[in-house]
Amino acid sequence: MLHNFGSINLDHIYRVPHLVTPGETLTSHGYRVGLGGKGANQSLAMARAGGQVRHWGRLGRQDAWARDLLEASGVGVDSVELVDEPSGHAIIQVDDAGENAILLFPGANHGFTEAALDARLAEARPGDWLLAQNECIALPYLFEAARERGLHIAFNPAPMTADAAELPLEACRLLFVNRSEAEMLTGLPAGSAASALLDALASRLPATETVLTLGGDGAWYQVGETRHFQPPMPVTPVDTTAAGDTFIGYYLAALQDGEGPEACLERAAAAAALGVQRSGAAESIPEAAEVARWQRQTQTPNTP
């Protein structure tokens, strides 16, 4: 079983002719509300991939529909608490040129206590996986407590902050990072080669399995002296929102199925490639059957 300690956000998306300027009142010509948050997206991706995942989260009571959506997709939601406070949410402007501006309110995602985390950890078994991102609080405590209980920790330090770089990352068995996150963790300059990033990550975390995602440049897996490369899939992106979350959920589902790193990379890359051809976050995450068809149609050798 995988337990995902993750954010659940409501995305309020407004289509506007241009991004609002200070002092301006602007009428939007489109509006919708969707499920978001990196935690929720990753749980959805893993469930749609056929994985077994329980989500640990907090939502405002008035937004129970978001929990229902997770449950309908196959996510275990008995540890999603409904509370009398605002849910995490984002106000997103998208202009006619495709540019966006986002205002994020953490809300209930930042209401976890150590006692609440202990209660959830007590339900996990040694050998279970714990997945976390950087949109909830109390991560230093959680990492140490989970390690003491014999859980395998997978971590995606997004959104990347200086605090995330100071976490006890050696407690992680598996680390997912994109290029900018890897640069911040290693102190290397922007635009550093993938090989340099992998070398620096291996030096800092020699026992941690690392997956480095590079968008249109593919993805790498490494642990110790072992490295595997996954080439990018040949697609024209429409919207890259939730692509990284889709990749992570599908990778972990493949790992749960007993697949090796190369097969995990391939399945995750195929799922992300399908997702970026659709608009939206949660709604862009594909189902397992679609991904299997895509893999059969786009077989490429795993060579850098």
Query: Is residue 245 annotated as part of the catalytic site, yes or no?
Result: yes
Q: Which helix (H) or strand (E) holds 100?
A: strand 100-105
What residues form DSSP beta bridges with 102?
92
Contact 2, 252 (CB under 8 A): yes
Choose, from 163, 199, 245, 257, the residue flagged as catalytic.
245
Q: Strands, DSSP E only, in 164-232?
A: 174-178, 209-213, 219-223, 226-230
Q: How many CA atoms lie within 13 A of 143 on its CB side?
A: 23
Torsion 158-280-112-108 (CA) sign: positive
Q: Work out the end-to-end distance of the chain between its first and last CA atoms, rounded to an integer number of angstroms.
A: 33
Return the active site residues. 245
